[in-house]
Copies of this chain bind each other. A is one copy, B any other.
């Protein structure tokens, strides 16, 4: 739970000649601010959530996905797709959550390899108890500081970056040029 790098280039490099892709002064400042913001924000959200409910952000995300599903159960690979997590991260995390009684494992008759992750009553109570506080923290630290135009722009902007990241993944996978 930390974040991308801060000052980006060593020894005050900024706006160097063509060929080297350094950032200019505006970009440097923006990058530093972004990086620091996301690091502190994530740390704060994690800490508050942990203190108030004993859940980590990762737990929270998994539980939300499960409650958003009719039967409160999902195949791990579906969960993986929703959360965009690495497979082994999910596997390890589900194992830990199972140990804590937040979810259960259920065999899958249709596919002998697979399984279902099922929300337990304890899991449901945990997410129900945690959600209002967590949303409140997000609102207090994030949205209360932004105008509606900024929120809209933020969505456009982050979505665009997201597309670039996905495109790069697709290229690496599918061997397109």
Which residues of A come within 8 Å of B, CB atoms?
Answer: 1-13, 20-23, 26-27, 29-31, 33-34, 36-42, 44-46, 49, 57-58, 60-61, 63-65, 67-68, 82-85, 127-128, 131-132, 134-136, 138-146, 148, 150-155, 157-162, 164-165, 168
Docked complex Cα distance between A148 and B92 (Å)? 41
Residues in B with CB closer than 8 Å to A144 are 164
Residues in B with CB closer than 8 Å to A140 are 164
Copies in the complex: 2
Q: Chain A contact residues: over half helix, strand or loop, or mixed?
A: helix
Q: CA–CA, A9 to B64, complex, Å?
A: 7
Task: List 25 A-B residue pairs with CB atoms under 8 Å apart, sorted by A's residue number.
Answer: A1-B3, A2-B42, A2-B57, A2-B58, A2-B85, A3-B38, A7-B61, A9-B131, A9-B135, A23-B135, A23-B143, A26-B155, A29-B155, A33-B158, A34-B154, A36-B84, A37-B159, A38-B38, A38-B158, A141-B161, A141-B165, A141-B168, A145-B161, A150-B153, A153-B153
